[in-house]
Amino acid sequence: MTDSKFQARGVIPACLMPFDADFEIDEPAYRRHLDDLVKVDGVAAITVNGHASEVHALTLDEQQRSLEIARDQVGERVPLVCGICTTNNREAARISNMATECGASALLVFPSEVLALGGRLRPEMALSHVANVANTTDLPLILFQYPLGSGLGYPLETLLMLCERIPSICAIKDWCNDPPLHEQHIRELHALDRRVNVLTTHSAWLLASLVMGCDGLLSGAGSVIANLQVALWRAVQRGDLRAAQAVNDRIYPTVRAFYCDPVVDMHNRMKESLMLLGRFNAAHVRPPLIKLPSNELERLANLLRDAGLTPYSVYEPLI
């Protein structure tokens, strides 16, 4: 049954996945991380099995265990969004069935990487992939909108077609990385006969994105700065630009920390940040990802300090 508590709105952190030294899921650390996030006042939901969880490196059994642990730890305190990240339709259906049975409240549907090979010219392929998931569950779907330059982003016409033909699509996670197109997504998806929400994941320019009229944010950066994201979201919602700018000034050093080149290391940096802040005991990533060099760890520590983040303030509400 569709989870009526899930509204595809507000601050939705995408959690990290801690590993031990043998690259196995560190269940106690994962439970502590989930508990940290769910205790942040204002968090609307938590996403598991997304980019931040290194879903590319998780087996289907591990993805199931990840969701089972999250549901057990979080309970009914907040809804859980589960990523559906695979290249083929049959596997997408299997993951969708698993997520539905294991207590997900909504599904985040990644595009099939096969579509990078010119799939934008065959919108019926995108329809096949997303409809295949929709036909296996009555959970609401969030489409993950990639940058068009990646080859995986849906052209606007395709995006609108998907939202019109698949009624369980309730929102998109917008990573188009193009401000004018982002605003067009917001305006056109909101104007549909059945409104579709826009959750931004433009964490590198979050304030600008939110004031365009997004319905919330779904971001891996929330694994570290959920409290700052909540404060920014609330300031924007009440129209307090000065307060929003003040919060954004604290977020900006974390943008420099997480989203510098190479971008492939962004979640690596988030793990290292939580270790520096005393929330993780280790920051292992599964190969081919590799631990950051020592000079970057020093840079991270300085930027976290610039953001006012300490072991005592991370996740704490802003006054």
Map out the domains of the chain with their CATH numbers.
10-306 (3.20.20.70)
Q: For residue 292, is pLDDT > 60?
A: yes
Q: Which of 145, 141, 147 is nearest to 214 (CA)?
A: 145
Q: Residue 150 and residue 194: Cα distance in Å, rounded?
A: 28
Backbone angles phi, psi at 97, to 5 degrees: -60, -45
Mean pLDDT of all residues in 91-111: 97
Q: Residue 272 and residue 279: Cα distance in Å, rounded?
A: 10
Tokens of 34: 């989930």
Q: For residue 157, is pLDDT > 60?
A: yes
Tell me if the bond preceding 180 is cis, omega within 30° of 0.
Answer: no
Q: Other C-beta atoms within 10 Å of 287: how many? A: 7
Q: Residue 295 and residue 289: Cα distance in Å, rounded?
A: 17
Mean pLDDT of all residues in 50-70: 97
The pLDDT score that the predictor gives to residue 319 is: 61
Mean pLDDT of all residues in 7-19: 97
Q: For residue 1, is pLDDT > 50?
A: no
pLDDT in tens, 244-286: 999 999 999 999 999 999 999 999 999 999 999 999 999 999 9
Q: Other C-beta atoms within 10 Å of 97: how many? A: 13
Q: Residue 11 and residue 206: Cα distance in Å, rounded?
A: 12
Q: Residue 135 and residue 158: Cα distance in Å, rounded?
A: 19
Q: Residue 261 and residue 258: Cα distance in Å, rounded?
A: 9
Q: Other C-beta atoms within 10 Å of 107: how many? A: 26
Whether the Cβ atoms of residue 15 and residue 48 lie closer than 8 Å to each other: yes
The pLDDT score that the predictor gives to residue 4 is: 52
Q: Confidence class of residue 318 from pLDDT cuts 50, 70 and 90?
A: confident
Tokens of 262: 């190479």
Mean pLDDT of all residues in 22-43: 97
The pLDDT score that the predictor gives to residue 138 is: 95
Residue for token pair 């601050």: 11
Q: Cα 135 vs. chain centroid, distance in angstroms?
A: 23
Q: Confidence class of residue 37 from pLDDT cuts 50, 70 and 90?
A: very high
Q: For residue 3, is pLDDT > 70?
A: no
**Mean of all residue pLDDT scores within the chain:** 96
Q: For residue 116, is pLDDT > 90?
A: yes
Q: Which of 165, 175, 174 is nearest to 134 (CA)?
A: 165
Helices 294-306, 241-258: crossing angle, 10 deg rounding: 170
The pLDDT score that the predictor gives to residue 312 is: 87
